[in-house]
Structure formats: C-alpha cells, structure tokens
C-alpha cells in the first residue's frame, strides 16, 4: 500500500470514518446480480467446479499463505462447540483475509459475504461464486435474495462470514466499530457468532529478512445471541459482546489498551501500511 493509503487511514481514524474504503473500486465489470441471481451453486457445472476448487484452494492456498504470510491459526478447539450453522465475523485488515478465514474455518463449510462489485464477469466471477462468495447488493430484492441464501446455509450447518467493519484497512491492527448486518442474521436465526481476530506478529526472522509481519488468526469462543425483544435490540447487544471480545483479544496479544488515534497522538506504527499489497477487495 502506498503512502496515500496510509495517510487516508490516519485521517479517517482521526475523524471516526471507520467504514470508508481506502482504495477505489471498479463497478463496470461487476456481475449484474439484480433480479433472479442464484446466490448458491445449484447448477451441475457450479457444483462440479466447487467440488474440485475447494480442495485445490485449501492445498495451494495453504502453502502460499504459510510461506508468504507465515500463517498460523490459534483457537481451533473453539470450533468444536459449534455443531450447527453459525455466523463468523473477522476484522477486515488483509487483502487475502477471505482465503485466510476459509483456511481457518473450513473450505466447504464456510461461505463469505462481500460487496457486489467484487464479483467480476467471466471466469473470475464463476470461481468466486464456486468458492462460496455471496454478493451484497443494494436493492431490496438483492438483500432478500441474500437473506434467503444465508438462512438456507445456516440451516444446513454452514458458516457464513461477514466483515462488520465494512471497509478493508490494510494491516490495521485495532478493531473498528461494527455494522449490525451480521448480528441481525445471527439474532434472527438463533445461531452463534464466531469472532475471528487477525493479528500481525513481528518475528525476528521475518524482520531480519524484511518480510511482512506474521499473520495469526485467533478463533475466539462463539458468542450466542441472548434475550428477547426486537431483532435490532438483540443484534445490537450481540454485536457489542462480540466487539468487546475482539477488543479484549487485541489488548491481550498486543499488550496495550485499544485507543483510537486523536489529533494530538503520533502516527500509529501498527498500520504497517508501507508493507501492504493492493487489496483484492
């Protein structure tokens, strides 16, 4: 990532604009999902493609992430308590975080939501869909189709991943405020939320070789929705509990309180922006 993006992250944090994208996106080459777009791979060709794609992604993606990022996953034992469907949420801080989460939570079990313009026309879009990508559209019809797909997946025991911070901030270490969408799904379906926290860990070897910091995914204990009342209220309470869990993990691994940047504070080193690569989404 260039200095321009690093400066943007600092500016946006100071102003509290945590859901602003740091990079610009193309919309002209996106798949048209309006109308009767099938969110799930139902056709024979799509199912066949998925059957071969996921094992290849797990094998080759695992090798790549291990050597490129030093990928390590901690807390896998916390998945044992999640028997049925679940929502997972992750801080959106790495250009390959969708792959990282899929490797951590399970290739065939995990599906991923993302902005509709990330689903490109042609083979790239077909591969994305076969890999479990669920585009989030802008119309009421699109959102209803997405809701139906998510509910179907949860009923089948799948995990649907969301990035509640919305925008991708490259290698930003703190947890940003959450949007409610993921927690609405969990509250309505009565399923747990699995918090996944991405840590960037400095190691002597990687520092000596001038490599990017080691990427460690922390799978935290699942958080169940609680209480009665309107879905929005239950979603807000659930989101708050998950946020506090991820904030607590930040403070545990980095050994410092999580305080947002203010005008009087120095530039944060944890953005690590100079090392970042262009994001895929």
Residue 273 has pLDDT above 60, yes or no: no
Cα angle value 103/242/280 (rounded, 5°): 40
Query: Where residue 118 falls among pLDDT bands split at 50, 70, 90?
Result: confident
Nearest to residue 116, comparing CAs of 104, 128, 107, 106? Answer: 128
Instruction: Give strand pairing partners of 190.
Output: none
- pLDDT for 277 equals 38
Q: What tokens appear for 183 in the block?
A: 């927690």
Residue 113 has pLDDT above 60, yes or no: yes
Give me the percent of the chain exceeding a pLDDT of 70: 92
Q: Domain residue spans in the chain?
A: 3-29+69-114+158-275
Residue of 233 and 24 predicted with greater confidence: 233
- pLDDT for 2 equals 62
CB 22 within 8 A of CB 10: no
Mean pLDDT, the chain, whole residue set? 89
What mean pLDDT is predicted for residues 260-277?
A: 47
What mean pLDDT is predicted for residues 111-117?
A: 92
Residue of 22 and 281 predicted with greater confidence: 22
Query: According to DSSP H, which parts of the chain are helical?
Result: 3-15, 44-56, 62-69, 97-105, 123-130, 140-155, 181-189, 204-208, 231-254
What mean pLDDT is predicted for residues 84-102?
A: 96
Helix H or strand E segment including 73: strand 72-74
- pLDDT for 27 equals 81
Render pLDDT for 159-206 as a digit per residue (tens, 0 to 9).
999 999 999 999 999 999 999 999 999 999 999 999 999 999 999 998
Render pLDDT for 125-154 as a digit per residue (tens, 0 to 9).
888 899 999 999 888 888 899 999 999 999
Residue 5 has pLDDT above 90, yes or no: no
């Amino acid at each position: 990532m260039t200095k321009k993006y690093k400066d943007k992250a600092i500016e946006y944090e100071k102003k509290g604009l945590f859901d602003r994208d740091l990079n610009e996106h193309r919309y002209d080459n996106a798949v048209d999902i309006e109308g009767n777009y099938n969110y799930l791979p139902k056709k024979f060709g799509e199912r066949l493609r998925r059957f071969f794609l996921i094992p290849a992604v797990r094998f080759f993606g695992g090798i790549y992430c291990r050597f490129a990022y030093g990928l390590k996953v901690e807390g896998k034992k916390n998945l044992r308590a999640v028997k049925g469907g679940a929502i997972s949420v992750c801080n959106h801080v790495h250009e390959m975080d969708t792959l990282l989460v899929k490797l951590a939570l399970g290739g065939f079990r995990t599906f991923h939501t993302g902005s509709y313009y990330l689903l490109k026309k042609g083979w790239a879009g077909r591969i994305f869909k076969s890999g479990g990508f669920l585009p989030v559209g802008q119309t009421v019809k699109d959102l209803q189709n997405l809701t139906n797909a998510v509910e179907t997946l949860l009923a089948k025991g799948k995990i649907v991943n969301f990035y509640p911070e919305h925008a991708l901030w490259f290698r930003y270490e703190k947890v940003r405020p959450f949007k409610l969408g993921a927690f609405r799904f969990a509250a309505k379906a009565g399923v747990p939320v699995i918090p996944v926290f991405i840590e960037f860990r400095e190691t002597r070897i990687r520092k000596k070789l001038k490599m990017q910091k080691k990427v460690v995914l922390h799978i935290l204990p699942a958080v169940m929705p609680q209480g009665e009342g309107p879905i929005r209220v239950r979603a807000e309470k659930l989101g708050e509990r998950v946020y506090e869990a991820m904030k607590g993990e930040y403070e545990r691994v980095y050994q410092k309180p999580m305080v947002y940047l203010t005008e009087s504070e120095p530039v944060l080193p944890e953005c690590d922006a100079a090392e970042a690569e262009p994001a895929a989404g």
